[in-house]
């Protein structure tokens, strides 16, 4: 039975600084780099055949560190469809400062709801509409061919995929959270 592993990138510098990252190309923090060995050890028992990720440096660095720690050389497909959501005018701003300005509930809706986008940014629906067709075209094909697939991506692109895979409602998706370095494993594309 083919396995699908969805892995959120390791901690980035702006995760550490509590800033909205979005499409900003921010590298991993030292803590993120240091955690790679532990995450790789958790993945060591899986025979991974194919990796998909986005071109954002935090995702590519995560893939590189995982492969280095596993002493493996695997095919990696890099595609913008797996990029984090665009946080628009919030990118680079401290999350606590934004909460003070707009209120905690509004920021929660921008960050976690299905269809509310931050100013000049993307909603989760927008991310879903680019990430899921890519997933259906490439990842599902690999899974049908009995390949084990690792997808390394950012928080909201993974939340979009989890919504699709687990058939989570538009209302319930607000409760899905995936921490840096956390992963979800599915058998035959379903949990």
Annotated binding site for substrate: 8-15, 21-22, 58, 84-87, 95, 111-112
Binding residues: 8-15, 21-22, 58, 84-87, 95, 111-112
Contact partners, residue 45, CB within 8 Å, separation at least 6 = none
Other beta carbons within 10 Å of 64: 16
Task: Answer yes or no: 84 catalytic.
Answer: yes
CA 4/CA 180 separation, integer angstroms: 18
Out of 9, 61, 122, 155, which one is annotated catalytic? 9
The DSSP call for residue 28 is B
> Of residues 17, 61, 84, 170, which has the active-site annotation?
84
Q: Is 31 a catalytic residue?
A: no
Contacts of 61 (CB under 8 A, 6+ apart): 9, 10, 27, 28, 32, 33
Q: Contact, 66 vs 44, CB < 8 A?
A: no
Q: Which residues are identified as catalytic?
A: 9, 84
């Amino acid at each position: 039975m083919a396995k699908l592993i969805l892995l959120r990138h390791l901690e980035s510098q702006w995760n550490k600084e509590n800033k909205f990252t979005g499409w900003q190309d921010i590298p991993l923090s030292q803590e993120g780099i240091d955690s790679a060995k532990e995450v790789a050890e958790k993945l060591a028992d899986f025979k991974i055949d194919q990796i998909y990720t986005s071109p954002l440096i935090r995702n590519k660095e995560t893939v590189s560190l995982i492969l280095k720690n596993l002493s493996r050389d695997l095919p990696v497909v890099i595609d913008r469809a797996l990029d984090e959501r665009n946080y628009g005018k919030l990118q680079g701003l401290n999350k606590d400062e934004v909460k003070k300005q707009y209120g905690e509930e509004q920021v929660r809706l921008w960050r976690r709801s299905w269809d509310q986008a931050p100013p000049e940014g993307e909603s989760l629906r927008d991310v879903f509409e680019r990430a899921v067709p890519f997933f259906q075209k490439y990842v599902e094909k690999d899974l049908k061919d009995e390949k084990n697939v690792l997808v390394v991506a950012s928080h909201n692109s993974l939340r979009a995929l989890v919504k699709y895979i687990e058939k989570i409602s538009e209302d319930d998706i607000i409760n899905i959270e995936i921490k840096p370095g956390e992963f979800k494993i599915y058998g035959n594309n379903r949990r």
